[in-house]
Structures are given as structure tokens and as C-alpha cells.
Amino acid sequence: MKKSGRYDTAGRIEDQYEEGSKGLVLKNITGIKTSREMGQLETKELVRCTDELLKYYERNHRFTAADICYMHKLWLGPIYEWAGRYRQVKLSKAGLPFANPEFIPQLMEEFEKNILASGTPCIFQSRNKTGEAIAIVHVELLLIHPFREGNGRLARLLAILMALQAGLPLLDFTDIEGQKREEYFSAVRDGLNRNYEPMKRVFSDVILKTLKIYGEK
């Protein structure tokens, strides 16, 4: 992957913040300085990106690491110069350390070979197997956390695309973004020990709620 060549002497641009944003908004192409405006723009671009990807990938597509980068670039490319490129800074969240930057390229290669290759295309005999495949892909991608921003939403977008391959409707993530948020993060942490059962339960609930919304069983 090519580097932009626009990292300056003050440090990597992906770790810089907009002047006047009080360290709350990452340096961006649009010059937005408030979290509210940035949140609105990222959401708007995610909707656009989702619409485009729903038409782009076929049901029998096997996803790759390059696809993950493409999806990230398609979504956040209008906002951040580093969109679609693996991060160069260390990240952690709620005490959970994500992969060190220097290992990300190799980890993504292994993710493609061992996880994406077995989990996609997401066409299985049972709904239980479908949920398991989505859960494992979701956890492993989040633990790598390959990008500076947007990893969770990108992982959920991939889960939506996998669910569509399985013949399911667009997944509804309202609960894990609200009342089940802590359960969700706990399931991610359990994935450090290759314990995917908690995330399988999370996605089982997501699928059931989605089907209920759409009046399906």
C-alpha cells in the first residue's frame, strides 16, 4: 500500500488533531473542528458507502484484506488522507490493547488466509453456522483494529455484507450501540483467548431482532 508522503515533521498526520478542536477531532480534509459535525459527516459517508457496497459485492464473493482496505477508503477517503491505509500508531480502548502497528500487515494476511477464507462467502447450511462465521470474523478484525479510525463501524458493515450473503436482511445493531454495549465489548475482550461464544450470542440476538423487525422467522 502506498504512503501519501504527506507526514510532516510534527509526526504522523493520522495522529494529529485539528487546530481549535481541543484535541477531539482528528486532522481531516474538510477542516471540521467539532465532534458533532464530524460524527454527522462520517455517518453520512457511511450511508453512501454502504449503498455502494451493497451493489458492488456479489453473494459468492470471498472477502480479502484488500477488500477491507477498499471499504475503509471508500467510506472515509473524502474525510481523512490516511483512509484505507493501515494505522501507524498504537491504539487501545477501555483497557484493551489492539495489535501493534508493525504487526498489522502480517496479521491482516493471516486474517485473510485463516478467517476470511473460511467465513466468506457466508453461505452455510444453518443460521447457527452463519452467526458463528460472522462473530469470528467480527472479533478478529476488531482485535487487529487495522485503521486509525472507524474499525467498529467497518466491522459492522462487513457483518452486514456477510449476512446478506447468507440471505438475511440488513442487520440491526441498535442494541449493541445502546443497552448491550458493555456485553458487546466484553465479547470482544473474550476473543483475545479465542473464546467466540459470547460474540456468537451477541450476533444471535442481533439476527433474531433483525428478523423480527422484518417480520421473518
Predicted confidence band at 1 (pLDDT cuts at 50, 70, 90)?
A: very low
Whole-model pTM?
A: 0.92
79 inside domain: yes
Query: Is residue 1 in some structural domain?
Result: no
Contact 98, 91 (CB under 8 A): yes
Q: Structural domain of residue 148, as residue ranges?
A: 13-213
Average pLDDT over residues 161-167: 97
Q: CATH number of the domain at 171, please.
A: 1.10.3290.10
Within a domain: 5: no
In a domain, 105, yes or no: yes
Specify whether the CB–CB gap between 162 and 119 falls below 8 A.
yes
2 found inside a domain:
no
- Which of the four pLDDT bands, split at 50, 70 and 90, describes residue 217? low
Domain tally for the chain? 1
Mean pLDDT across the chain? 92
Q: Is the pLDDT of residue 6 over 70?
A: no
- Give the orientation angle of helix 127-144 with respect to helix 197-213, to 10 degrees: 120
65 found inside a domain: yes
Query: All 3 cell numbers of residue 174?
Result: 441498535
pLDDT tens string 18-40: 999 999 999 999 999 999 999 99
In terms of phi and psi (left: phi > 0; alpha: psi -120 to 50; beta: otherwise), the region of 167 is left
pLDDT at 3 over 60: no
